[in-house]
Chain A
């Protein structure tokens, strides 16, 4: 696993902040996606059964990550689901980044799933995707 994430304690204390890190932009997307999924429920307690294939493009990987994370939050409410995993690939053609992802989860059931927070939105407060010392990092604050 070439990505990690950690929740940050001293930022926006009523909300949830995390920093994802990876060896590539693709890996930082994976780390940030996992952090978001775990903010909403323990993925180990979520079965499959619900699935969406999602493709998105942008010239700016920072904007692409923001839109992708926002889309995950959207499906949570639109379909009343929480998520087990979201395998994804990120490729670059010319100056365009292409995200291909599968969002896999199940309808919300508090009796069988360990539910966490109902994320309202992905904010732009302190939001950044950057490359530092050869590692890619994303700082994200979620409104809870």
Chain B
């Protein structure tokens, strides 16, 4: 088998591959990659180097993991998962990413493709108007510094209190859309100024808002799908992918600088400057954790305000209230975050960077409504090929610190994608295939072409066969808004 690495990679199963600790000086645990043979062979060299760098970090437990959508990131690979002991382990912004609590949200409707198709252009125009996207975009919510502090501590709860959503939305979010332990007093003025005007905005890059269709033949588990409000029959759903915007980006930047200095004091060395870290129990580690939670809550609030705008846009176009249209939240889940969770080894700081929590039905942390199904997992594919709804499993909790994939993962650089296809040309091609795209940046659109991504169905098969998530339904795009 030819791989993009000289390291020894041993087969554990057809979907699990292990790099032993002998392959790099300083590795404390083996690295494990979840992938089919084909996906593993296509993985870039950065994945192997970066996941083994993570395996060298102080206090890591069991394995450094990479999911099948993994690719070269900075610090951790995208798709990286690592758990560190709360007593002797570290916390690292490089294991979370700049876009703290970047995540996915799925909203169901009672509408069908036949209902929406005649109004699709009008609907996408209204969504494009109501949900700002792209470089430096600002939202409609105007906040004082004090009120932004409440967003940091209350997350999506703040939105519901202000009328941007329904109380029952909250139970359908990871952590109820509000993580405890957020302290706005330690967030820098720079971070506040960067984010205070951006609530309700998408950003750019791979962030999007997508109108999708669920067909009966693409529902793999009808019982679970029905329990989550997915009924098929060409049902319309809406997916949102975005995070904490400039606020979270600045929190990450601020603490990378803090950790670079404090690492020397704590005698920590790392293989990549971007893996700068601090002992979790140190003052610096606790401050970052608290500031990161501020950003995580802001991301929940951002997606909640966007949901409010989506509901308003649908109500305007279809002349019925969002409640009458059945626009209930299916779930909201983070894929760039660090959280304290309990496993066989005790309390661990689980870092997920481009990886999703995937708790199974047996997890006491889940609310009652997901005790039969397991936690919903939302995986976004490219804008051309579709996305998936899955559920977490108890096996994920045992094997991967309750974690799974988050998307399809890139196979082509942004520059190469732009050279291969032009944004305007792609927009026309997609329109002919029944996918209406509204984009702020045509070069940004080209960078996100389907050809730049792995085949999401093969990525999903990897985690389904490995047993760490189970497929529920595939979601096919008909309209997309990009920054």
Spot the interface stretch: B197-205, B301-309, B424-432: B197-205
Per-residue contact bits, chain B 175-214, to A (CB 8 Å; 1 contact, 0 not): 0000000000000001001110110000111100000000
Output the nearest chain B residue to A107 by Cβ-Cβ distance: B136
Q: Does A80 contact B (CB under 8 A)?
A: yes
Output the least CB separation between A132 and chain B (Å): 19
Q: What per-residue 1/0 map shows which CB atoms of B229-246 lie under 8 Å from chain A?
A: 000000000000000011
B386 part of interface (Cβ distance < 8 Å): no
B75 contacts A118, C-beta separation under 8 Å:
no
Q: How far is the CB of B414 from chain A (nearest CB, A)?
A: 6
Which of A74, A108, A143 is close to B74, meaning CB atoms less than 8 Å apart? A143
- Checking A15, A76, A121, A143 against B136 with a beta-carbon cut-off of 8 angstroms, the contacting residue is A76
Residue picked from A10, A11, A116, A127, most chain B C-beta under 10 Å: A116
- Say whether B195 contacts A77, CB under 8 Å: yes
Q: Is the CB of A108 within 8 A of B134?
A: yes
A15 to B444, CA, bound (A): 12
Do B135 and A40 touch across chains, with their CB atoms under 8 A apart? yes
Instruction: Establish whether residues A14 and B71, one from each chain, have CB atoms under 8 Å apart when the complex forms.
Output: yes
In A1-18, which residues have CB < 8 Å from any B CB? 7, 9-16
* Neighbouring A residues of B46 by C-beta, 8 Å: 11-12
Task: Report the minimum CB–CB distance from B263 to chain A (whole Å).
Answer: 12
The segment out of B22-30, B119-127, B268-276, B467-475 that lies at the interface is B268-276
Q: In this assembly, does A81 line the interface, its C-beta being within 8 Å of a C-beta of chain B?
A: yes
The answer to whether B441 and A116 have CB atoms under 8 Å apart is yes
Closest A residue to B247 by beta carbon equals A77
- For B443, the chain A residues whose CB sits under 8 A away are 114, 116
Q: Are A121 and B98 in contact (CB under 8 A)?
A: yes
Q: Is A13 within 8 A of B72, CB to CB?
A: yes
Number of interface residues of A (CB under 8 A): 39
Q: CA–CA, A15 to B138, complex, Å?
A: 23
Report Cα–Cα, A143/B248, bound state, in Å. 13
Give chain A residues whose Cβ lies under 8 Å from the Cβ of B195.
77
B252 within 8 A of A: yes
Q: What does the 1/0 interface line of A69-86 toward B look like (CB < 8 Å)?
A: 010011011111110000
Is there contact, CB below 8 Å, between A117 and B204? yes
Within 8 A of A (CB), among B71-94: 71-75, 78
* A14–B410 touching, CB < 8 Å: yes
CB of A2, distance to nearest CB on chain B (Å): 25
Chain B residues with a Cβ closer than 8 Å to the other chain, count: 52
What are the residues of chain B within 8 A of A16 when measuring CB–CB?
414-415
Interface mask (B114-140 → A, CB under 8 Å = 1, otherwise 0): 000000000000000000001111100
**Cβ of B127 to closest chain A Cβ, rounded Å:** 15
Q: Is the CB of B274 within 8 A of A115?
A: no
Q: Is the CB of B134 within 8 A of A118?
A: yes
Cβ of A10: which chain B residues have Cβ within 8 Å of it? Answer: 413
B149 near A: Cβ within 8 Å?
no
- The reply to whether A14 and B206 form a contact with Cβ atoms under 8 Å apart is yes
B256 within 8 A of A: yes
User: Nearest A residue to B409 by beta-carbon distance?
Assistant: A14
B95 touches A (CB below 8 Å) = no
Kindly state the separation between the CA atoms of A114 and B138 in the bound complex, as whole angstroms: 18
- Given A108-B134, A117-B205, A124-B276, CB of A13 within 8 Å of CB of B74: no
User: Which residues of B are interface residues toward A (Cβ below 8 A)?
Assistant: 44, 46, 71-75, 78, 97-99, 134-138, 190, 193-195, 197-198, 203-206, 245-246, 249-250, 252-253, 256, 260, 272-274, 276, 410-416, 440-444, 447, 483
A-B contact pairs, 16 of them (CB 8 A): A7-B415, A77-B136, A77-B245, A110-B440, A115-B134, A115-B135, A116-B135, A117-B204, A117-B447, A118-B204, A120-B99, A121-B98, A121-B252, A124-B274, A141-B74, A143-B99
Shortest 10 CB-CB contacts between residues of A and residues of B? A125-B74, A77-B246, A124-B273, A118-B204, A125-B274, A120-B98, A120-B249, A108-B136, A77-B194, A121-B98
